[in-house]
Amino acid sequence: METRKVQVTGGSTYTVSLPKEWATDNDVSAGSVVEFYSEEDILLLSPQQENDRERGTLSIDGLDDDQLTRAVMTMYVSGFDVITFEAARVTASQRRTMREATQGLVGLEVIEETGDRVVLQDLLDSSELSVHNAITRMRLVAMTMLSDAVTALVEDDDELAHDVIERDDDVDRLWYMVSRVFRTVLRNPSAATDIGLPRETVFDYQSSARQLERIADHATKIAGTALEIGEVDEEVVAGLQDLQAAAENVPETAMDALLTDDPDEAVDLATDARAELPAIDARARGVGDVIRDLEDLQLAQSLALVVDSLSRTADYGGNIAESALQKAAPSP
């Protein structure tokens, strides 16, 4: 860390010198324009960008299917606005994979294709993206998926189970968008100004969005189990439904805490959510005891995984509550 002494020139202008090494590394010299961003008692400085579109290029020689899909998602989440994928020859399979990958990412479109490259561009401005709306939508979809997954299991409803699995793509799409905004805000202070949220709040939202994405994944696992097994014993059904209702209440209460603007209310709600976890653990053990008495060992193993998913849902809600407490805490 370097320090500088503030000086006053002309009786009213405060001046401070820039570290030479930083200025050199960022091509700042006499006549350069820099930008300032104020965050309460912190002042951030960055060189003014002539072109605010972040561009990234990646070679995709040898990449296909899952590897190429992951490459598209990684470049998107990293915050690049224009993404160029290059290869000696871009194959038809690679083009198809990239087009399919863009369909799962908010705002990303193919804008150019040649024999040796494919260019993708994010067509949405950061100011048009609402992290608050995205996480609210994630909450609705993930929690509905969980409820429907258990319903599909206990009612042996394969159609509903398939529907739950399909909805996981919606949650993933929102999760990638929130992650992209978060990384953009970390890299570019002006992005926080554009979306109208402090960087700390964006961090809390991103952390909580991750928990919601995991809840959706467990709902998908339960739906997959529903497709594999038949009818479930009534005593087990009652236990699973009771556990699901209790587990679901934790992330719901925690999300209320995260999204409220009242710090006192946030602390109360988050504390209530955390307080429910021991009772849910006891419920999970009780349902587990009933399942272990089943004669069908394979069915018992499948249902034990469902109990684990519901228990983890409550734990993820507890993590959201922790984020809500941090968001509500006074600034040092």
The per-residue pLDDT for range 115-137, each reduced to its tens digit, is: 999 999 988 765 566 889 999 99
pLDDT at 61: 93
The 3-class SS string of 298-323 reads HHHHHHHHHHHHHHHHHHHHHHHHHH
* 286 confidence band (pLDDT: 50, 70, 90): very high
Residues 258/320, Cβ–Cβ less than 8 Å: yes
pLDDT at 19: 76
pLDDT at 185: 85
pLDDT at 230: 87
55-to-49, 50, 75, 82 alpha-carbon distances in Å: 13, 13, 10, 5
Residue scoring higher pLDDT (125 or 64)? 64
* 30 confidence band (pLDDT: 50, 70, 90): low
pLDDT tens for 155-164 read 999 999 999 9
Q: What is the mean pLDDT of residues 215-236?
A: 94
Nearest residue to 37 via CA among 199, 279, 165? 199
Least confident range from 47-56, 96-105, 233-242: namely: 47-56
Please state, rounded to an integer, the average pLDDT across all residues of the chain: 88
Angle at 138 between CA 133 and CA 143, to 5 degrees: 135
Residue 187 in this model has a pLDDT that exceeds 90: no
Residue 9 in this model has a pLDDT that exceeds 80: no
Q: What is the mean pLDDT of residues 10-16?
A: 59
Residue 266 in this model has a pLDDT that exceeds 70: yes
Which strands sit side by side in the sheet containing 117-122, from one edge to the other?
Answer: 55-59, 82-86, 117-122, 108-113
Q: What is the mean pLDDT of residues 143-167?
A: 96
SS3 174: helix
Query: What percent of the chain is modeled with pLDDT above 70?
Result: 83
pLDDT at 38: 57
Integer Cα distance of 98 and 237 in angstroms = 43
Least confident range from 8-22, 47-61, 170-184, 244-258: namely: 8-22
Query: What percent of the chain is modeled with pLDDT above 90?
Result: 67
Nearest residue to 275 via CA among 249, 309, 302? 249
pLDDT at 177: 93
* 255 confidence band (pLDDT: 50, 70, 90): very high
Integer Cα distance of 107 and 123 in angstroms = 5
pLDDT at 10: 52
Residue 46 in this model has a pLDDT that exceeds 70: no
151-to-10, 219, 244, 251 alpha-carbon distances in Å: 73, 11, 10, 19
The residues, ordered by sequence, that sit 6+ positions from 162 with a Cβ below 8 Å of its Cβ are 223, 227
Q: What is the mean pLDDT of residues 257-274?
A: 97
Least confident range from 254-263, 275-284, 323-332: namely: 323-332
* 186 confidence band (pLDDT: 50, 70, 90): confident
* 210 confidence band (pLDDT: 50, 70, 90): very high
Q: At how many degrees (to 10) do helices 263-275 and 297-328 cross?
A: 160
Residue 36 in this model has a pLDDT that exceeds 90: no
Integer Cα distance of 226 and 306 in angstroms = 10
pLDDT at 195: 79
